[in-house]
Amino acid sequence: MSRSPQQPPQRSFVGKYADDLGQLISQQIKPVYKAMGIQVPVKSCSLVHVLGYLHQASLVDLAKCLNQSHQLIKQKIPRLLELKIITHSKDPHDKRRTLYQLTDLGRQQAGILKQNPMEQIYQQLSEEVGADIQSVLMAAIEQLQQKDLYTRYNEHNEY
């Protein structure tokens, strides 16, 4: 008679589930974007969307706006340049800074993203699961920024 392995506590997998959700959304949105005519890589759409509003921005500006590291933003830039979605130029006031802006194709892509927001789809999903998914994720991020897991771990183990 074989014993089934004991299941680990599922609440320990919050990071894995958050990553799984992100991966699933990225995977499932590809055919949606393809149907819309979006040529931008899925993980770069937020960057293109933001550039559509800012018109021109540095890596630091984009990182702040998207609340991501400038290294992560910098990794996406070469592919967007290759696809001719964005272009770059030196800042005339500070030659050390590079400014990025959308090309005509990039503006067209940003326009499609703006005209076809996914808000209603995510709202419907939120209703189905009984929680505002975006609000929950943003609140969790904010709370972890205010007090990290290590601090929480230490507080928990003081008792």
- What pLDDT tens digit does each residue of the chain (159 aa) get? 455 566 666 777 889 999 999 999 999 999 999 999 999 999 999 999 999 999 999 999 999 999 899 999 999 999 999 999 999 999 999 989 999 999 999 999 999 999 988 889 999 999 999 999 999 999 999 999 999 999 999 998 886
What gap in Å lies between CA 121 and CA 14, rounded to an integer?
Answer: 23
The answer to whether the beta carbons of residues 41 and 30 sit under 8 Å apart is no
What is the structure's pLDDT at 156? 87
What is the structure's pLDDT at 58? 96
Place of tokens 């974007």: 33
Secondary element (H or E) of residue 119: helix 119-129
Alpha-carbon 90 to chain mean position: 26
Q: How many residues does the chain have?
A: 159
Phi and psi at 90, nearest 5°, equal -75, 140
Nearest Cα to 99, choosing from 55, 66, 56, 62?
56
Alpha carbon separation from 82 to 17, 40, 75 (Å, rounded):
33, 11, 13
What is the structure's pLDDT at 150? 95
CATH of domain 32-117: 1.10.10.10
What is the structure's pLDDT at 6? 66
Question: Hey, where are the domains in the chain?
Answer: 32-117, 118-159
What gap in Å lies between CA 143 and CA 149, rounded to an integer?
Answer: 10
Alpha carbon separation from 147 to 14, 66, 99, 139 (Å, rounded):
16, 21, 34, 12
One-letter identity of residue 50: V
